[in-house]
Chains A and B, each alone.
Chain A
Amino acid sequence: MHEVDMTRYLLQALEDWREQHPVQPHVGTVHLLVGEFTCVEPGQLRLSFAAAVEDTWLAGARLSIVSVPLVGECLVCGNSYRPDPTCGYASPCCGHPLETILSGRELKIHRIDYSRPRICGPPAQPPLAPGQPTPPFPDPSHAHAHQ
């Protein structure tokens, strides 16, 4: 049941990502790439994630998991192939052992779909030319609240 611990690390990675945003984002879907040649069970990970995000800033976020197939490369013939446990993961053409793994070991956050509050305000000022005097602060009494 290490998916619970995987979830803990996932939440930590999402927390790191959140800290890069000045305004808290509202996360819709977290897309993961999970290789077939890992010790992660996607269903367990979804359950664990759903339970862990309740009552947190990630409440309502969904986990989307794309499984990445195990693909090996035969060093004898150079072909890529899908290693089969019933054939000992060997290259089907040469019987060579599984040397290079091209894919299937992924455990990655691939994409985060989110929304952020639209920040309204005065248009951005062009950068100052060298030597140009700094403009005075705007009069706060002219400021408007924006929703």
Chain B
Amino acid sequence: MHMPTSDTMTINLLAANGRQARHNRQHFDAWGLFCINVMSSPGAGKTVLLEQTLRALHDNHGMAVLEGDMTTQLDAQRLAGLGVPVIPITTGRVCHLDAAMVSTGLQLLQQQCDPASLDLLWVENVGNLVCPAEFAIGEHCKLALLSVTEGDDKPLKYPVMFREADCVLITKIDLLPHVPADLGRMGHHIRQINPHCGVFPVSGLTGAGLGDWLAWLGQRLPAKDHHHHQGAPRTPVV
């Protein structure tokens, strides 16, 4: 005999991912590592932006990259030439990184260097304007890219990504003379959904606008006490 009953609750569907994301965040904070989750559709210019940004910050910041891709390690190979640890994460069929995958990447990173000696961890997510927006990885900052070739209306069509972002870079502005994109409308649509995020037009090819983006980032980076963190015990990621 069975007794019919029901339990009423409010459990987040992604509670397990949330737990792992909080765990990742505890490690980031213990290491003094500022983590940036870089998201966009495929081909919006994430890897070029990272190349430019890593070059610009290389002299003053210790950095590493977790490089997510569904297949191949082509982007990881490109970035490896810049002299920072790059950990490829191949997701297979999965169209986003989740907190557990990032945790695995952190374990591999620990085999290459002491994360406490770094300032910045870049996580290049899988190219996708939908799924990555829902999966927290423990990041301090969500960065979304939107290229001028994608059209003015993308923020309205994929609002969750642009709502979640702390900063949006409108990329490939060197192509503006050749495409019917309206930079003003793009920025307006982003701010209609997320009025307080930073919005910066940039070109990874020419370097235009990168100074504004780097200044915005610089204001958010906590000053790091390297003495303290280098002396801290190395905590393995579980």
Contact = CB atoms under 8 A, between A and B. Distances in A.
A116 B160 CA distance: 40
Contacts of A97: 191-195
B17 A109 contact: no
A114 B3 CA distance: 8
A57 interface: no
Given A89-B193, A107-B13, A1 B95 contact: yes
Given A37-B159, A107-B134, A114 B16 contact: no
B197 to A, nearest CB: 11
A86 B192 CA distance: 12
A52 interface: no
Interface in B73-101: 93-96, 98
B56 interface: no
Interface stretch (A4-12, A126-134, A136-144): A4-12
Contact of A110 (B10, B17, B157, B188): B10
28 contacts: A1-B95, A2-B131, A5-B96, A6-B13, A16-B15, A28-B4, A39-B131, A39-B134, A39-B160, A40-B134, A86-B156, A88-B188, A89-B193, A97-B191, A107-B14, A108-B13, A109-B9, A109-B10, A111-B7, A114-B5, A114-B7, A115-B2, A115-B4, A115-B5, A116-B5, A117-B1, A117-B3, A118-B2
Interface of A: 1-2, 5-6, 9-10, 12-13, 16-17, 26, 28, 32, 37-40, 85-86, 88-90, 97-99, 101, 107-118, 147
